[in-house]
């Protein structure tokens, strides 16, 4: 469902995402821990300084001066407050905000034991520290100090927002990087598959371009190239076999044909003459088949090169019409040639002739007695010409149109009654393609069939 490329991108992004989130979580937690420890340490040193000051004042039996006590430096702290209690829970010094603070649990504040706690108002949170201490007169007190946690929380919030930005940004960057990395990694494979797509039975001499790196992809490419090589050999030997067989069959066929023709002339018995005639028909079909097969195998092996000359199309078409006229007369089909100008193109005359003969032959073959076949020559523009072959015969059903240019394809309806091998159009199309032209067909069953051949005036 998903391509390997997208799976790799997803895996990269997921792994990096999990790692980044994990790291961020650890960094956040350790920063939080460090922030609170710093706050506690600062609060402790502030409390100790304050407590020393208070203890000193109390031992001298002096009145505590709130203003003076407030001037004790609270390093690294903001929003500091303090209150002083004696052991009968009486508040001696008090700060307005701290009056909201919870009552001290005196059992926990044992002598000389520091005790931390937290307190949250709707607006702010505080870290509280209780220090019990004793004066020289052995009176017991508890000093309660508090510092706002706002700064620490602000720092943590900042860190949190940085992570909120960094994590998705990191994921996007990883995704982009993974995309380019996997694209680069798969490039040789994509290139190989592009070339592999272009390799068909007709160009098995092509090979996949191998990547320089001696890796698994190269090994795969080499294996595929070896496979194509074996296929090429197999195809070549098969084509050679068809060509050789057709060639070998042709000579004895010609001999048999000549012998039978002589025999036919000599015979007087009508029945025997008839059976020789039908044998000659069969031999004719067989000769056509072998020559079509030979042509196709030559076309396949690219043995046939175009012998380009300037060809007068009007003349060539007239020749073809003349060649097939007797066949048309036999079938009572009228051949019409519509040419207004003389047209000259660069082409292989003999091959074009076989194209036109094939198409006119089909048109006559599939026409009904009494109908007509027209051949029209049109000039499209200065670069292209079009030859149209139209008949009013049996027509071709739409679902068969895609197959008629395939080798050995013959319509089921015509197969039984009309002779042929289904190779004429395959050869025709290959020759038109060699001329960089185009052949199209349109047809209506029982009404007409139109083949159009478009050819360049000058192919190179």
* Site stretch for ligand ATP (CB under 6 A), options 19-27, 97-105, 348-356, 391-399: 391-399
Q: Report in angstroms how near the CB of residue 448 gets to ligand ATP at its nearest.
A: 9
Identify which of residues 83 and 362 has a Cβ nearer to ligand ATP in the complex: 362
Cβ-based nearer residue to ligand ATP, 187 or 415? 415
- Nearest CA to 458 among 378, 382, 386, 352? 382
Rounded least distance, CB 395 to ligand ATP, Å: 6
Nearer Cβ to Mg ion, position 132 or 420?
Answer: 420
Q: How far is the CB of 432 from Mg ion (least distance, A)?
A: 14
Nearest to 128 by CA among 58, 81, 168, 95: 81
Nearest residue to ligand ATP by CB is 424
From ligand ATP, Mg ion, none, interface partner of 366 (C-beta below 5 to 8 A by class): ligand ATP
- Judged by phi (left if over 0) then psi (alpha if -120 to 50, else beta), residue 455 lies in beta
**How much of the chain is in helix, strand and coil states, percent to nearest 5?**
55, 20, 25
H/E stretch holding 290 reads helix 270-300
The residue among 170 and 422 lying less far from ligand ATP, judged by its C-beta, is 422
CB of 242 to ligand ATP, least distance (A): 15
414, interface contact from ligand ATP, Mg ion, none, CB < 5-8 Å by kind: ligand ATP
Count other Cβ atoms within 10 Å, centred on residue 218: 15
The residue whose two tokens read 């091959």 is 351
Which of residues 188 and 420 has its CB atom nearest to ligand ATP in the complex? 420
Query: Is residue 393 at the binding interface for ligand ATP, with CB under 6 A as the rule?
Result: yes
| CB proximity list for 344: less than 8 A, separation 6 or greater | 310, 311, 312, 313
| Strand pairing report for 125-134 and 140-148 | antiparallel
Which of positions 358-387 make contact with ligand ATP (CB under 6 A)? 358, 362-363, 366
* CB-facing half-sphere around the CA of 150: CA atoms within 13 A: 11
Within its chain, how far is the Cα of 158 from the centroid? 43
Residue 356 touching ligand ATP (CB under 6 A): no
The conformation of residue 340, written as its DSSP 8-state character, comes to -
Sheet holding 115-120, edge to edge: 91-93, 81-86, 140-148, 125-134, 115-120
Residue (170 or 424) nearer to ligand ATP, CB: 424
| Least distance (Å) between residue 235 CB and Mg ion | 25
Per CB under 6 A, the list member of 35, 144, 391, 430 interacting with ligand ATP is 391
Residue 12 or 451: the one with the smaller Cβ distance to Mg ion is 451
409 interface partner picked from ligand ATP, Mg ion, none, CB below 5 to 8 A per type: ligand ATP
Dihedral pair phi/psi, residue 207, rounded to 5°: -130, 155
Query: Residue 440: exposed, middle, or buried by beta-carbon count in 10 A (0-12, 13-18, 19+)?
Result: exposed
Binding site for Mg ion (CB under 5 A): 362, 424
Q: In angstroms, what is the minimal distance from the CB of 377 to Mg ion?
A: 21
The whole-angstrom separation of Cα 177 and Cα 171 is 10
d(CA 29, CA 322): 98
Among 449, 453, 454, 455, binds ligand ATP (CB under 6 A): 449
Would you tell me how many other CB atoms lie within 10 Å of the CB of residue 9?
22
Secondary structure class of 87 (helix, strand, coil): coil
Tell me the two tokens of residue 299. 């076309």
- Of residues 327 and 414, the one with the C-beta less far from ligand ATP: 414
Least distance to ligand ATP from the beta carbon of 305, Å?
23
* Mask for 405-444, x = binds ligand ATP (CB under 6 A): ----xxx--x-----xxxxxxx------------------
Rounded Cα–Cα distance for residues 394 and 417 (Å): 12
Q: What is the closest distance, in whole angstroms, from the C-beta atom of residue 364 to ligand ATP in the complex?
A: 9
State the nearest-atom distance from the C-beta of 292 to ligand ATP, in Å: 6
Token duo for residue 95: 């700060």
47 vs 428, which CB is nearer to Mg ion? 428
192 binds, among ligand ATP, Mg ion, none (CB under 5 to 8 A by kind): none
8 A C-beta contact, residue 362 and residue 425: yes
Q: Which of residues 254-293 bind ligand ATP (CB under 6 A)?
A: 292
Q: Check: CB of residue 389 under 8 Å from CB of residue 450.
A: yes
Q: How far is CA 181 from CA 10, 119, 173, 187, in A?
A: 13, 53, 12, 10
Q: Which does 372 bind (CB under 5 to 8 A by kind): ligand ATP, Mg ion, none?
A: none
Q: Are 91 and 143 in contact (CB under 8 A)?
A: no
Least separation in angstroms between CB 447 and ligand ATP: 11
Contact characters 148-187, ligand ATP, x per CB under 6 A: ----------------------------------------
Residue 404 binds ligand ATP (CB under 6 A):
yes
Give me the residues that bind ligand ATP (CB under 6 A), please. 292, 358, 362-363, 366, 391, 393-396, 404, 409-411, 414, 420-426, 449
């Amino acid at each position: 469902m998903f391509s390997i490329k997208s799976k790799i991108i997803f895996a990269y992004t997921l792994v990096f995402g999990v790692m980044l989130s994990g790291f961020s979580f650890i960094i956040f937690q350790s920063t939080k821990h460090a922030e609170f420890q710093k706050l506690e340490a600062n609060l402790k040193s502030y409390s100790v300084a304050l407590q020393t000051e208070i203890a000193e004042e109390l031992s001298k039996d002096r009145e505590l001066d709130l203003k003076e006590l407030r001037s004790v430096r609270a390093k690294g702290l903001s929003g500091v407050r303090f209150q002083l209690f004696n052991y009968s829970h009486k508040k001696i010094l008090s700060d307005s905000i701290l009056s909201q603070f919870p009552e001290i649990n005196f059992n926990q504040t044992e002598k000389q034991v520091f005790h931390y706690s937290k307190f949250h108002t709707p607006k702010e949170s505080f870290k509280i520290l209780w220090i019990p201490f004793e004066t020289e007169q052995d009176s017991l007190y508890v000093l309660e100090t508090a510092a706002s946690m706002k700064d620490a929380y602000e720092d943590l919030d900042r860190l949190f927002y940085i992570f909120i930005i960094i994590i998705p940004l990191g994921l996007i960057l990883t995704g982009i990087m993974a995309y380019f990395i996997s694209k680069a990694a798969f490039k040789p494979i994509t290139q190989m598959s592009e070339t592999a797509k272009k390799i068909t039975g007709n160009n098995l001499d092509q090979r996949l371009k191998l990547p320089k790196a001696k890796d698994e992809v190269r090994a795969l490419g080499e294996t595929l190239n070896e496979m194509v090589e074996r296929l090429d050999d197999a195809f070549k030997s098969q084509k050679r076999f068809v060509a050789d067989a057709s060639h070998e069959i042709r000579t004895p066929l010609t001999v048999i044909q000549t012998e039978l023709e002589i025999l036919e002339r000599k015979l007087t018995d009508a029945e025997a003459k008839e059976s020789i005639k039908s044998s000659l028909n069969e031999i004719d079909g067989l000769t056509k088949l072998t020559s079509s097969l030979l042509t196709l195998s030559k076309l396949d092996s690219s043995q046939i090169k175009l012998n380009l000359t300037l060809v007068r199309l009007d003349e060539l078409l007239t020749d073809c019409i003349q060649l097939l006229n007797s066949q048309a007369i036999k079938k009572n089909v009228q051949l019409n040639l519509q040419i207004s100008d003389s047209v000259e193109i660069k082409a292989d005359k003999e091959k074009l002739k076989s194209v036109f003969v094939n198409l006119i032959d089909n048109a006559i073959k599939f026409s009904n007695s009494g109908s007509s076949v027209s051949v029209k020559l049109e000039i499209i523009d200065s670069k292209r010409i079009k030859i149209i072959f139209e008949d009013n015969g049996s027509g071709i059903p739409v679902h068969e149109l895609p197959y008629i240019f395939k080798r050995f394809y013959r319509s089921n309806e015509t197969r039984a009654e009309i002779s042929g091998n289904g190779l004429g159009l395959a050869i025709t199309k290959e020759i038109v393609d060699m001329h960089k032209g185009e052949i199209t067909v349109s047809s209506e069953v029982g009404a007409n069939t139109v083949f159009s051949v478009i050819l360049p005036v000058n192919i190179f």
